[in-house]
Structure 1
Amino acid sequence: MISSTATKRTGRERRSAASDRPMWMGKPHPAVQALKAVVLTVACALVILPFVAVISTSLSDEETVRQAGGFVLWTSDPTFAAYQQIFSGGVVTRSVMVSTGVTLVGTLISIVTTVALAYGLARPKTLGAKPLLMTVLFTLLFAPGLIPSYLMVKELGLIDSYWALILPVAVNAFNVIVVRSFFMDIPQELIDSARIDGASEFTVLTRIVLPLSRAVIAVVALFYAVGYWNAFFNAVLYLNDNSKWPLQLVLRTFVVQGQTYQQSLDGSIPPPQAALQMAILVVSIVPILIVYPFLQKHFAKGMLTGAVKG
């Protein structure tokens, strides 16, 4: 009798505890789980199928593209003729080198300036920290217009220069705020102990702050790198020499505007224009896809810690 009563009491307590839990902590109904699986499957298909079609089209020959109506979902006889043509020393090869150089140099400059500015704003006794912080926030809320930006770049003599793709966007106010918030979460006792040992500000930054901030720096570096790699509008504004075009501007020219790629290989049948366009598109996407998995693990820690606790 006592055992039965205890069992009933335990069952009531379990049901009471289950009813007290929030809705999102409860076990979902099997029908809800099935619906979630269907929705996720459809979402994944909508993301993966276009990418597979782009790759398949870039690996197809003229006959396959014509039979598929210009967009191949799956090719049974892949060929790399389109990639061989765009990497045979023409405009695409040159633009890849330009984009790679601009991305590497621009990301390095952006990280150095962002970290230096954020560290100065994060220190409580920095001279003029509050007015400078208000200036950074002002640029975040009110962006300069197109004409003033162009006139400034022109006055600095950066027209038709690679620096026009880097310097106007070297510092992003949002990234500065995120890095500053992360720096402010570092215990002040660590910095004070280093100063007692005679460490300078540069030593504190390089020996203490930066090793503890690898996550946020990796995330911000990825943001800057993706921005530099995908940027084309500044190239449209400031670059008059076609030989200095980055990859995204070449992609816009041959894919969006539909201009014909006029570079053929000797002794071979040129690949279809659709395959060439999709090959250029794949080349512009693959570098980011390669870099992203190595930095993905830092996203939650780098962004949430700096944004929520700051």
Structure 2
Amino acid sequence: MSTILQSKGERTFRMFNAILLTVISALFLLPFLTVLTTSFVSSQEYTQRGPFILFPQHFDFGAYKMLLFQGMAVLNAYKITLMRTVIGTFLQLMVTALLAYGLSKTDLPGRRLIITLLVFVIVFPVQIIPLFLLNKSLGLIDSFWSLIFPRLVNTQYVFIMMAFFRQIPPSLEESAKIDGANYLQIFFKIILPLSLASFATIGLFYAVWQWNDWFDAAMFIIDAAKLPVQNLMRTVVLSSTMAEVMTPGQLPPPGEAIKGAMIIISTLPILMIYPFVQKYFVKGFMIGSVKG
């Protein structure tokens, strides 16, 4: 009897759990779905039905056509953001991995001092004024590289990678040293192939940050033609007019449709990439959290 009651209780709990998670998921997805559907609303439908339209009667691609094919502002910002994400993520991964690999060796001279400095940076993060002065002293103001060089390392990711590298058996490195390999050869031919999960995890973190960040460009970039897509999206969303992306003399789609389309355009690439690296992301993140 108790088994039957327990089975019913489990079924009830699972049903309640499924309903609760479905409601929570819907609450999280509803704003994004609203933005998505609003981006397909035509001027006529927007005038008739108002700003909140969950299911458009007719899908109008005018906002996307205007942003992507009329004027070069969005495409140019997309190019800059793509370059920043690819180059920045690669350099950040290499610097972070090499630093973490060196610090994973207990016999590294000055290791304790370097780790202490990294912890100090975590406790007292870099402020905007020193960062601006650093960029100015390096001559990077209004330069693409001002978005890359000052933030090459995230100290938290260094410690996650250190924990991952410590799991690799030392015997593999010792065997490679006997065969005449140096530290760089060991890193690129042995450590790196065994650490793909960690690289995918940290790489995804870095890529998402590079793609979404707008603050650095707002602080260090002066020329509007050098701004990434997130800064353009921020300007469009906060603007009462669409002059930043419109062609002169053009009758635009509704402002809310343009804002929605701009948000979708700026977030879609990351949403498309994540499913392909999800298994590495979960594995690498769990290993780093347990062993770190």
1:140 to 102, 114, 122: 122
SS of the residue corresponding to residue 48 of structure 1 reads helix
1:56 CA displacement: 1.2
What is the correspondence of 1:91-110 to structure 2 with a 5 Å cutoff? Answer: 91-110=73-92
Say whether 1:71 aligns with 2:70: no
Unaligned runs of 5+ in 2: none
- Contact (CA 8 Å) 1:103, 1:229: kept in 2 or not? yes
Provide the residue aligned with 2:20 in structure 1.
39
1:203 CA displacement: 1.3
Report how many residues are paired: 290
Say whether 1:294 aligns with 2:266: no
Provide the residue aligned with 1:180 in structure 2.
162
1:45 CA displacement: 1.0
Identity score, percent? 37
Provide the residue aligned with 2:261 in structure 1.
279
SS of the residue corresponding to residue 51 of structure 2 reads coil
Distance 1:263 1:157, change over 3 A: closer
1:202 to 184, 188, 197: 184
- Contact (CA 8 Å) 1:253, 1:259: kept in 2 or not? no
TM-score, with structure 2 as normaliser = 0.92
Unaligned runs of 5+ in 1: 1-10, 20-25
Give the Cα separation in 1 of the matches to 2:245 and 2:264: 18
Amino acid at match of 2:291: K
Say whether 1:216 aligns with 2:214: no
Give the Cα separation in 1 of the matches to 2:179 and 2:276: 36
CA-to-partner distance for each residue in 1:77-100, whole Å, 9 max, x for gaps?
Answer: 112111111112331111111111
Give the Cα separation in 2 of the matches to 1:284 and 1:168: 24
Say whether 1:30 aligns with 2:18: no
Let me know the Cα RMSD of the aligned residues: 2.3
What is the correspondence of 1:255-266 to structure 2 with a 5 Å cutoff? Answer: 255-261=237-243, 263-264=245-246
SS of the residue corresponding to residue 126 of structure 1 reads coil
Amino acid at match of 1:82: A
Q: Between Structure 1 and Structure 2, whose CA radius of gyration is higher?
A: 1
